[in-house]
Amino acid sequence: MAISDKIQRVMPTAEDRKLGRQLAYSEAVLLTHPGNPALKGEVDDKYEYSIENRDDKVHGWMSKKLGVGIWVISPSDEYVAGGPLKQDLTSHVGPILLSMFTSTHYTGKDLNTRYRDGKPWRKVYGPVFVYLNSVSGRPRRSYRKLWRDAKSHMKKEVRKWPYGFLQSEHFPCADQRGSVAGQLLVGDKYVNQTLMTANNAYVGLAAPGKAGSWQTDAKGYQFWTRANEEGYFLIKNVRPGNYNLYAFVPGIIGDYKFEANITIKPGSETDLGAIVYHPPRNGPTLWEIGVPDRTASEFFIPDPKPFLTNKLYTHILSDKFRQYGLWDRYTELYPHHDLVYRIGNSKCHQDWFFAHVPRKTGNKTYTAATWQIVFKLRKPSFAGNYTLHLALASAHASELQVRFNDKSVKKPHFSTGLIGKDNAVARHGIHGLYRLYSIPVPRRLLRRGSNRIYLTQSRSNDAFRGIMYDYVRFEGPRELLVDREG
């Protein structure tokens, strides 16, 4: 089975799974009596092979013995729910090949397609290309040849999109579509006094809504591109209709939305010129944890238990998060006391666990975990509020409570309330839906010298309730001179 250049492996059979031992849920099975002895002791779970919509162009199966392959090629993701970062299933044991148009995987019910009030709705899914190929020659090289050929053919299909052979008024051909161009800039005077180019930004058109609403849009079409180093972007082959233009920028928090609706007509070419995103900012950065990239990939991801591994990912460190059972490693690393992160001393890739999950206290019993951030202030300013930005990469049936310098206070200074159903922890994801909270912090909650922020994930009914952080930033008041010692 091949999902990408890196994710390729010999797979177990459906019978191997039947003979194996089910783990914490039905999708995860420990292979105890596989027909291929080399697979014994590995974990198989279809969610270990999920990928993001932006990368789901070709995947499938190959036979070295027969020298043949079968592939699902998706030349466009305009009809797929949830935007470019939405994750979903690909190929898995069966053998099974999937082309997922919509699902609630890694998002939860927020992405359900709802039909109500008799409102008519129509959407064209696909076309999806199924490709069969074969090679001759030495079997040892068959896998490589078949995969290269499948990738090459995928690129041909992408260049053909939108297909011209469909005889349907509901599938517009290339000359019936439009385009949108422009340049995205970023304005943040605390980083740079002049406007910055939105290098490599994601820029897209989706159904009208609030900033970031494209994450939970299942009914409409979405059209995304990446800006170049200067922030210039071109979105081509857009279906006629009414849209909002959205964007997010790697390294920058928050979501951008262009203020006006954009109407695409057949053959239209819309040039927005230079547009500026002003990300959330209330004052100078005093300290930060992580990288604002909408994932928890930069944080500490532990090794799996040696008897619960997928050997493929022991060699692909960037995909280490796909291993089974990592949620239990938190308790093993912090058996009695929860995580404490010290600004100026701790390092996020070593000392910040990738998922804020409950701590196990017994057989299927858990307790809420309270993490601490310890930092210093020379002298809290009276100039105005401080700000704590919490960017979350994932949340599943969780409630994040924030307290400042007093862990025992009954009512937290801030609470998200119950949020999320993306189940990214159990499904081996490194993110789900993105959320950003900007919390005002009055001076009275802070002290001269050492300060502590207590982060409690208060819902602890099972192992999979948890939060993944994307990025944490603490800002001083707007008028405050930057105190880097803090």
Which residues contact residue 344 at a Cβ distance below 8 angstroms, ignoring those fewer than 6 apart?
Answer: 287, 375, 376
pLDDT digits (tens, 9 = 90+) for 66-78: 999 999 999 999 9
Q: Given this model, what pLDDT does residue 472 score?
A: 99
Lowest mean pLDDT among 182-186, 217-221, 299-303, 480-484: 480-484
Q: How confident is the model at residue 486 (pLDDT cuts 50, 70, 90)?
A: very low
Q: How confident is the model at residue 484 (pLDDT cuts 50, 70, 90)?
A: very low
Say if residue 178 is exposed, middle or buried (CB neighbours under 10 Å; 0-12, 13-18, 19+). buried
Q: Given this model, what pLDDT does residue 295 score?
A: 99
* Mean pLDDT, rounded, for 259-270: 98
Cβ–Cβ < 8 Å for 288, 472: yes
- Mean model confidence pLDDT for the chain: 96
* Mean pLDDT, rounded, for 417-438: 98
Q: In order of start, what are the domains of the chain with their CATH numbers?
A: 14-160 (2.70.98.10), 174-277 (2.60.40.1120), 285-475 (2.60.120.260)
Which residues contact residue 90 at a Cβ distance below 8 angstroms, ignoring those fewer than 6 apart?
Answer: 3, 49, 50, 51, 56, 59, 97, 98, 100
Enter the pTM of the model: 0.95
* Mean pLDDT, rounded, for 39-50: 98
Phi, psi of 335 (to 5 degrees): -70, -30
Phi, psi of 14 (to 5 degrees): -60, -35
Q: Given this model, what pLDDT does residue 114 score?
A: 81
CA angle 430, 434, 436 (to 5 degrees): 130
